[in-house]
Every structure is written in C-alpha cells, then in structure tokens.
Chains A and B, each alone.
Chain A
Amino acid sequence: MKKYTTILCTLILAAVFMAGCKKNSTDPTPVYTVPTTYNFANANFADATTRLGMATEVGNLTKLATSGAIDGPRIKNMLTNTNAPFATAAYNTSGIQMLDQFAPAFKTDIISFIDSLVKVAATGATASRGVAGVGASSASPTSKYALTGLGVNYAQVINKGFMGGFITYQEVTIMSNIATYDNTTVVNGSTAQEHAWDMAFGYWGVPIDFPANKTGAKFWGSYTTQVDSGYKANKILMGAFLKGRAAISAKDSKTVTEQAAIILDAFNKLNAAGALQEVQETRAAISDNIARNSRMSEMYGFVYGIKYNPKRSISDTQYNALLALFPANLYDLTLNQLNTLRDAIAAPYGFDAVKDIL
C-alpha cells in the first residue's frame, strides 16, 4: 500500500509540475516549427516591395532639391502611379499605387510637404535663417540640404512621413485586424491571412534572413537597426513575424494574436525610438547649423508621424504638447529645448533609461 501511495504522490507531483510548465492546459498547442528566416514556401509580399521601391523613387527625386528645381507634378504622380512616373518600368505597369495605402491624414499632408519642398528647391538661394534655399553642412560641405526659412528639410519630413503615414499605418491596420482575415481558402497559393501577414513583413523592408543579412534594408528596416543600441526592435520584430507566420499556417490563432500584439507594440514605439535616435544625430551635428536643422527635421518627421498610427498609445493632448516643444524656427533651437524634447518623447514610451543611447 505504502508503495502505491508513493507512486501516486510521484504522479501527482509530476502532474503539478508539468501543469506549471504549460501555458494553457485546455487548448493543446499545435506542434510546428518556426523557421529562422522568412522563407515560407507560399510567402508573397511582392506588392509591398514594389511600393517601398516606389517610395524610394520619390525619395530619389526629393533629393534633387539640393541641386535646383524639382518636378512636383511627377512626384505627385508617383503617389498614384499616374502617367508612368517611375524610372523602374515594372512599377509603372504594376497596376498598384501607394496613395490608396496611406493613412487618411497623410494623403493630404504629403501633398503640402511636396509643395513646400518644390518651393524651396525653386528659390536658388542659400539657406539661412528666414531664407529658404540650399545650405551646406559646415563640417562636411559636400553634404547639402534644402531648407525652408524656418529650417525645415521637407525631403526628410516626406521620408519619415512614408514611414509613419504609409508603412506604420499598414502594419497597424493589418495587425489589428489579423483575426478577421480568412485562413481557410487558398488563393494564389496562400490564405488571405497568410498574405496579409506577408505584406506586413514586406512593408518592414528587410531581407528574409534579417538581421544576419541587412542588405537592402530600407525605411523602417534601416531604422530598426539604427535604434537597436537602445531598443532591440530587430530581434523583437523578426521573432514575431516568423512565429506569427508559422502559427497562421499551423492554424494556431492564439499565437498569431500574441505575435500581432508584439508587432503593434513595436511599431507604436518605433516613431519615438526613431525620434530619439535623431536627438542623438542632432547632438552629433550640434554646432553645424544646416546639418543640425536637417536632423531636427528628421526628428520632427518622426514625431509628427505619430498621429498617423490609429493605435498610438499617446493621447491627442500629449501629441500636441510634443509638437509644441519644437521651436517655431529650427534655427532658434537651444540645448534646453532639445533636452526637453528628448525627455518628453522618451517618457511615454518607456525609453527613459535608453534615451541617450538610441
């Protein structure tokens, strides 16, 4: 008898310990392998890649603002893919566009950003406080920037606008609705849910074997590395994208929801992380008026772009308070203002401890 009691005890104890290990004892977790690269056989995010390529072409044209007038109508045509505006012929015939993927507010904002840049580029003046035109970095005079009289580099605001008003908006829209996509019917090799997830991965802008390979990483794909010293977005996002995609194919919806939440959280934080990284860049160019204004414009672009995220964690009041911390004219920036901005950006996103190393 004693023997059976002991055996029973052993079993009970073992069961208790096993139960402690399991995350969920009622719903058995499907068994599947999470790969280490995004090499899912039926993955397809070609449209996302194409759109990032389109945005890159917009960037290439805006960069020309440092050497004379730029073609505003053509840049606007790139948004809607009208009149074959792209240098890459395949984009012109792709049948897809960027604008219909933008956050509603960004659709109108980007037009005024482009108009502002076109105006600066047309002045032919040398940039200085109150004078829109092109200025050179004092530290490396070959680096030039087109700045408004208020010191804003709209080429950077457009670039950061793409990241917030286009890419983050897509990530957030897809991830917060991921459960609503069908995961049964296979169309063109994958289910709607698989394809939506793939598009979200594609919009991140990294190679499938990221972060081991960083070749060609663009937009957020480049910035997640730039902020990696303080916020491990590369690892967090790659892990979540891989695990979530494997889970979709294995019909493990619980894990899909969990990974989508991780991705939502990361994209909520990335605008703040990017802005803090630009605080450091601004400090690195602190005595270089023209370059510093451009870095500040990048920071402004990140902060301004927070509003495009429909799931942003800060309130409208907090958002407006952040924007109000920027000087009316970037040429008038003080160190105190920069530090105040840094602290105000870091606090609501939990970046206090890393605000100086991002």
Chain B
Amino acid sequence: MRKFIYLAVIAASALILIQSCSKSSGGGTTPTNTGTTFDRKGMLTNISTNIIIPAYTAYQANTTTLDAAVTAFNANPSLTTLTAVQAAFKAAYLQWQSTSTFEFGPAAQIELRVNTNTYPADINQINSNITTSTYNSGLLANLAAKGFPALDYLLFGTGADNNAILVQYTTGANAAYRKTYLAALSAELKTNATTVLSAWTSAYKTTFVNADGTDVSSSVGYLTNQLVFDYEILKNYEIGIPAGVQSMGTTFPQKVQGFYSGISLQLLNQHLAALKNIYTGASGLGFDDYLISANAKYSGGSLNDGIIAQFAAASAKLQNLTDPLSANIQSNNTAVVAAYTELQKLTVLLKTDMTSSLGILITYGDNDGD
C-alpha cells in the first residue's frame, strides 16, 4: 500500500515539475463574438462560385469584345466602328464595377484595380505618350494614363463629337500612334482579365475557400477589407471628392469616374448594386447570414436589417440624380451631397459595426504616420 503512495507521490511530483517547466502556451484568445458556428467555408464557396468567378468570367469576355472592337476600329476607323468600340467600352466598364472588389490573391498580385481604373485620367501623360510615341505599361507613372479612364478620354474626350474624335484616328496628328496606344490599352485590360480569371479557375478558388479563418490573411479577412475598401472608393472617388466634400465645397466635376463618356451614375449604381450583392451573397450564404448568426445588433434591431435599409436609403437618394453626374454636380450639388451623406452612413455600418461584430480587423490605413 505504502509503495503505491510513494509511486503516486513520484508521479504527482513529476507531473508538477514537468508542468512548471513548460512555458505558458500563449494563445487562448478566443474571439468574443458569437457566430463562431457560422459556416464560413460555405459562404466563401458561395461567393467564389456564384459571384467572383462569374464576375471575372463576364469581365474577361467583355474585355475580349472590347479589344476585338478596337482592332476592328484601328483596321477601319469609321463612325460605325467607333460607335462599336464605345459600346464595348461601356459594357466592359460597367462589368468592371462588379469585379473591382476582389483585390486580393491573383488580382492583388498584378495590382489589377489601379491598373484598370485610376482616375481622373492624366491627360498630360496620355498626350505626352502619344506625341512621343512611347508607352511603357509597366511604369507606375502611367497608371493614370491607362485602363478605362484613359480609354474614356481617348474614345469620348478627344473631340466635341464622334466626327471630331474620328479625325484623331484618321488624319489628325499622331493618328498612327494614337491607334497603337488604344490597342495597347485594350489588350492590357484583356490580358490582365485573362490572367486573373485563369488563376481563379485553376488553383486560387481552393486556396480561397480553404482559408476560412477570420485573421487578417484569411479569405474572410481579405474579402471584408476589400468590400469596405472598395465601398469607400465608391463613396469618396465616385461621388464625394467630385462633389467637394473633401475640399470644403469646392467641386471637381471633372474628377468623376467616366467623365468623358458621361456614364458616371450608371457606373456608380452598378457598383453599389454589386457591393450589396457581395454583402448578401446573392441568394446564398453572405455577410447578412454571418451577421444574423453572430446576433449583431444595431439601434434596437438587427445590424443586418440596418445595413439593408441603409443600402436602400442610399440607392433612393441616387435615384434623384441623372447622368452625366458631372453636370448634376454643377447644377444640383445639394442632391449629390445628400446621396453622399446616405452613403457615408453605410460606411460606418460596414466598416465599424460589421467588422467589430464579426471580429475582423480592418488592416488598410488612410495615411502613413511618417
């Protein structure tokens, strides 16, 4: 009997000593939010299958059509072929609004967003590229001289009407290089779209679905950050800055997206609808279900209801505006600012309430501290 006691003592003391040796294992910080039982993998599967890949597929097709239209135009510049390029441009630009959000993985790898849509276009840089017959697509200094904003200028902004624009590509100065430049820009859009789409359809979709945690380098982390970041681009660059909200009322109508084609509002509405579609996960699992599962509250009701209502309120205000948005800013900026104000309310819900309810960190900063 005694022997057993000694053995027990030995065993116990050994255990104690071993325990005292091991360092505390650190970890142990479980997220305080509920919703931990939410099927994040299901949400990522739904969003990638039913939203992201279809978006890139359509975008790749649109840019292919655009590039083909440019080729046809360059071979035979006419009002007919010009109108065809312009139509293809609008279709591709609108589809981009449903594609711009996913700036992580393959798109981030090639900085797709800034290569596609840096505006306002740098007219000086564009014209200097044309007059010197040099365009290096790799130079970051050319970001505002490429993509949709540059095409917007080249296809809609280089003459008072299509007849005048056509002259630039036929008998105007530097017509030959202008066509070369146009072709380089549309080809680049197509190449980039193809690169990103094939990455998604080969390996990246699996990577995306499997990174189903909530830390900063998880897919939910990336998607949430980019959803909010892209939403802020919409709010600030597509409407706020042109309407003068960051310049004490001094307006910059020429800074709107799609200034020369005059489709700014169409683009904006499409973008907002696309962001809402990502939020709701279309008809499948989305951030709405995630917030419901986390039991997130807002102002006495559910946060999801608050967000859906605010999407609707912002949309309603945008319905009061008409294209071209730049003209609205000049004639009726009060209505433009009113729409901006509703959009701003949604920022808070998405950026602060949603992310804190889900325990997701916003990792992008607004500026550096030097």
Q: Which residues of A contact B (CB under 8 A)?
A: 2-3, 6-7, 9-10, 13-14, 17-18, 20-21, 129, 138, 140, 156, 159, 222, 226, 229, 281, 283-284, 286-287, 289, 292, 295, 298, 331-336, 338, 357
Q: Can you list 16 residue pairs at the A/B interface with Cβ under 8 Å?
A: A2-B3, A3-B2, A6-B6, A6-B10, A10-B10, A14-B13, A222-B369, A226-B368, A281-B368, A287-B118, A289-B140, A331-B141, A334-B140, A335-B110, A335-B138, A335-B140
A295 near B368: Cβ-Cβ < 8 Å: yes
Given contacts A6-B7, A286-B140, A332-B139, 8 further A-B contacts (CB under 8 A): A14-B14, A20-B17, A21-B20, A21-B21, A140-B246, A287-B114, A287-B143, A333-B140
Distance in angstroms between the alpha carbons of A129 and B128 in the assembled complex: 13
Which B residues are in CB contact (< 8 Å) with A21? Answer: 17, 20-21
Q: Which of B20, B364, B365, B368 has the most CB of A within 10 A?
A: B368
B332, CB-defined interface residue at 8 Å: no
Q: Which residues of B contact A (CB under 8 A)?
A: 2-3, 6-7, 9-10, 13-14, 17-18, 20-21, 110-111, 114, 118, 136, 138-141, 143-144, 216-217, 246, 363-365, 367-370
Distance in angstroms between the alpha carbons of A252 and B143 in the assembled complex: 58
Which B residues are in CB contact (< 8 Å) with A286? Answer: 111, 114, 140, 143
Which A residues are in CB contact (< 8 Å) with B118? Answer: 287
Known contacts A222-B369, A357-B217; decide if A332 and B17 are in contact (CB<8 Å). Answer: no
Which A residues are in CB contact (< 8 Å) with B114? Answer: 286-287
Which residue of B is nearest A335, CB measured?
Answer: B111
Which A residues are in CB contact (< 8 Å) with B144? Answer: 138, 287
Known contacts A10-B6, A283-B111; decide if A229 and B139 are in contact (CB<8 Å). Answer: no
Distance in angstroms between the alpha carbons of A333 and B300 in the assembled complex: 52
CB-based closest 5 A-B pairs = A17-B17, A334-B138, A287-B143, A287-B118, A6-B6
B369 near A226: Cβ-Cβ < 8 Å: yes
Which residue of A is nearest B13, CB measured?
Answer: A14
Which residue of A is nearest B2, CB measured?
Answer: A3
Which B residues are in CB contact (< 8 Å) with A159? Answer: 370
Distance in angstroms between the alpha carbons of A140 and B367 in the assembled complex: 10
Which A residues are in CB contact (< 8 Å) with B13? Answer: 10, 13-14, 17
A20 near B9: Cβ-Cβ < 8 Å: no
Which A residues are in CB contact (< 8 Å) with B111? Answer: 283, 286, 335
Distance in angstroms between the alpha carbons of A18 and B217 in the assembled complex: 41
Which residue of A is nearest B365, CB measured?
Answer: A284
Distance in angstroms between the alpha carbons of A7 and B363 in the assembled complex: 59
Distance in angstroms between the alpha carbons of A138 and B246 in the assembled complex: 13
Known contacts A286-B140, A332-B141, A334-B140; decide if A357 and B368 are in contact (CB<8 Å). Answer: no
Q: Which of B10, B13, B217 has the most CB of A within 10 A?
A: B10
* Nearest CB of B to A52, in Å: 15
Which A residues are in CB contact (< 8 Å) with B3? Answer: 2, 6
* Nearest CB of B to A340, in Å: 12
Which residue of A is nearest B124, CB measured?
Answer: A128
Which B residues are in CB contact (< 8 Å) with A9? Answer: 6, 10
Known contacts A10-B6, A10-B13; decide if A336 and B138 are in contact (CB<8 Å). Answer: yes
Q: Which residue of the partner chain, among A14, A156, A222, A336, contacts B17 with CB atoms under 8 Å?
A: A14
Which residue of A is nearest B5, CB measured?
Answer: A6
* Nearest CB of A to B7, in Å: 8
Which B residues are in CB contact (< 8 Å) with A13? Answer: 10, 13-14
Which B residues are in CB contact (< 8 Å) with A334? Answer: 136, 138-140
Which A residues are in CB contact (< 8 Å) with B217? Answer: 357
Known contacts A281-B368, A286-B140, A335-B138; decide if A10 and B21 are in contact (CB<8 Å). Answer: no
Which residue of A is nearest B108, CB measured?
Answer: A356
B216 near A333: Cβ-Cβ < 8 Å: no
Known contacts A2-B3, A10-B6, A222-B369; decide if A284 and B139 are in contact (CB<8 Å). Answer: no
Which A residues are in CB contact (< 8 Å) with B9? Answer: 10
* Nearest CB of A to B177, in Å: 20
Which A residues are in CB contact (< 8 Å) with B365? Answer: 284
Which residue of A is nearest B143, CB measured?
Answer: A287
* Nearest CB of A to B363, in Å: 7
Distance in angstroms between the alpha carbons of A1 and B370 in the assembled complex: 75
Known contacts A2-B3, A3-B2, A287-B114; decide if A357 and B216 are in contact (CB<8 Å). Answer: yes
Which residue of A is nearest B109, CB measured?
Answer: A339
Which A residues are in CB contact (< 8 Å) with B6? Answer: 3, 6-7, 9-10
Which A residues are in CB contact (< 8 Å) with B363? Answer: 229, 357
Which residue of B is nearest A3, CB measured?
Answer: B2
Distance in angstroms between the alpha carbons of A283 and B104 in the assembled complex: 13
